[in-house]
Amino acid sequence: MDIIDTNTYPLDQPDSASYSALVALCQTDLAKNGLFNLPEFLRPSALQDTLELVKPVIETQAFVHLRTHNIYFKKTIPGLAPDHPALKLRQTANHTICADQIEDSAITQLYDWPAFASFLADVMQKPGLYPMDDRIAGANVMTYYDGEALNWHFDRSEFTTTLLLQAPSNGGEFEYLRDLRTDDDPNYDGVAALLNGQLETTICPQAAGTLNVFRGVNTAHRVTPVEGDTPRINAVLTYFDAPGRKFTTEEHLGFYGRTTP
Ligand SMILES: [Fe+2]
C-alpha cells in the first residue's frame, strides 16, 4: 500500500510494536477528545494524484446535495412538537461523488484495503469492521464551494472516517460539541441551546492529507460555510460492524439522487 505513509502509520504490520503503539495512541485520543487525527496519513504524491483524478469528476458528475433539515435528518421525532426549537431547520449544500465514479482512486483503494478496516476495528476494540455492500454510499467525496456547508447533525453510524483532500482558505471548519446527548437522554433543551448559538463548541483544525476518525452519533457537529475560491474536498468512508450493509432507496435518493451504481 504505497498511498499511505506506512513508515509513520504501520497498518501493514499489525504484529509490530509500533502498530500497537499507534493503536494505543489513537484509543487515548478517542477517549479524551471523541476523535483522533493522523496528519499526513495520505502521502503527498497520492494526495496530488487523487485531487487530479477527482476534481474533473466533481466538476462534471457530482450530485448537488441541497436540503433543509433538522439536526436529526428526520422529518419528525416522536414526542417532540414540530415547533420545538430542537427541530430548527438549517440548510446543507455540497457536491457529492461516490466510489463507483472513482474506482481507480486512492480513496477506493483505501476503503477496500482489509488492513485499514482491521486497524479501525483494533482502535475501536471491535472484532471486525466491514465496508458497505453499497458502491454508492460506502465511500464518498464531498465538495463544499463558497457559501456551502454541512449543517448541524448527529451521525447515523457510531463513528465516521474522513480523509481531508483539500482545505479551504477560509471557513469550512469542522466544529463540534461533544456528548450533547446520550443513548438514554436526548437533551432536547441542550440541542435547542446549541442551535441558538448559546453553547460553547470546539473547532478541530485539519490539514489536507489528515485522516480523522470521529464518534458522531451523540456528538453534534457541522462544517461551517466555506468562504472563498478554494473548495473544501473531503472523503468520507463508512464501515459497519457486520458485512452487507446497504442504504435504503429513500436514503440513496436523499443523499445521492440515484439508486444504482
Ligand atoms: Fe457527520
Residue 106's CATH number: 2.60.120.620
CA 141 to CA 147: how far, in whole Å? 18
- Centroid of ligand 1 to alpha carbon of 223 (angstroms): 9
Predicted confidence at residue 45, as pLDDT, reads 96
- Whether residue 170 lies inside any domain: the answer is yes
- Whether residue 55 lies inside any domain: the answer is yes
- Centroid of ligand 1 to alpha carbon of 164 (angstroms): 14
- Whether residue 17 lies inside any domain: the answer is no
- Centroid of ligand 1 to alpha carbon of 90 (angstroms): 15
- Centroid of ligand 1 to alpha carbon of 206 (angstroms): 15
Predicted confidence at residue 156, as pLDDT, reads 81
- Whether residue 138 lies inside any domain: the answer is yes
- Whether residue 7 lies inside any domain: the answer is no
- Centroid of ligand 1 to alpha carbon of 18 (angstroms): 30
CA 55 to CA 73: how far, in whole Å? 28
- Centroid of ligand 1 to alpha carbon of 95 (angstroms): 15
> Would the pTM count as exceeding 0.85?
yes
- Centroid of ligand 1 to alpha carbon of 107 (angstroms): 18
What are the two backbone dihedrals, phi and then psi, of residue 30, each rounded to the nearest 5 degrees? -65, -40
Q: What is the 3-state secondary structure (H, E, C) of the chain?
A: CCCECCCCCCCCCCCCHHHHHHHHHHHHHHHHHCEEEECCCECHHHHHHHHHHHHHHHHHHCEEEEEEECCCCCCCCCCCCCCCHHHCCEEEEEEEEEHHHCCCCHHHHHHHCHHHHHHHHHHHCCCCCEECCCCCCCEEEEEECCCCCEEEECCCCCCEEEEEEECCCEECCEEEECCCCCCCCCCHHHHHHHHCCCCCCEEECCCCCCEEEECCCCCEEEECCEECCCCEEEEEECEECCCCCCCCHHHHHHHHCCCCC
Domains contained in the chain, number: 1
Asked whether the beta carbons of 214 and 35 are under 8 A apart, the reply is yes
CA 236 to CA 211: how far, in whole Å? 10
- Whether residue 175 lies inside any domain: the answer is yes
Full residue range of the structural domain in which residue 106 is found: 35-256
- Centroid of ligand 1 to alpha carbon of 172 (angstroms): 14
Q: What is the dihedral of CA 250, 254, 260, 261, to 10 degrees?
A: -150
- Centroid of ligand 1 to alpha carbon of 115 (angstroms): 24
Given the C-alpha cell 464531498, which residue does it identify? 142
CA 206 to CA 173: how far, in whole Å? 8
- Whether residue 100 lies inside any domain: the answer is yes
- Centroid of ligand 1 to alpha carbon of 216 (angstroms): 6
Beta bridge partners of 204: 174
- Centroid of ligand 1 to alpha carbon of 222 (angstroms): 7
- Centroid of ligand 1 to alpha carbon of 229 (angstroms): 24
Write out the chain's pLDDT in tens, 261 residues. Answer: 799 999 999 999 999 999 999 999 999 999 999 999 999 999 999 999 999 999 999 999 999 999 999 999 888 899 899 999 999 999 999 999 999 999 999 999 999 999 999 999 999 999 999 999 999 999 999 999 999 999 999 988 889 999 999 999 999 999 999 999 999 999 999 999 999 999 999 999 889 999 999 999 999 999 999 999 999 999 999 999 999 999 999 999 989 999 999
- Centroid of ligand 1 to alpha carbon of 213 (angstroms): 11
- Centroid of ligand 1 to alpha carbon of 4 (angstroms): 24
- Centroid of ligand 1 to alpha carbon of 161 (angstroms): 10
- Whether residue 95 lies inside any domain: the answer is yes
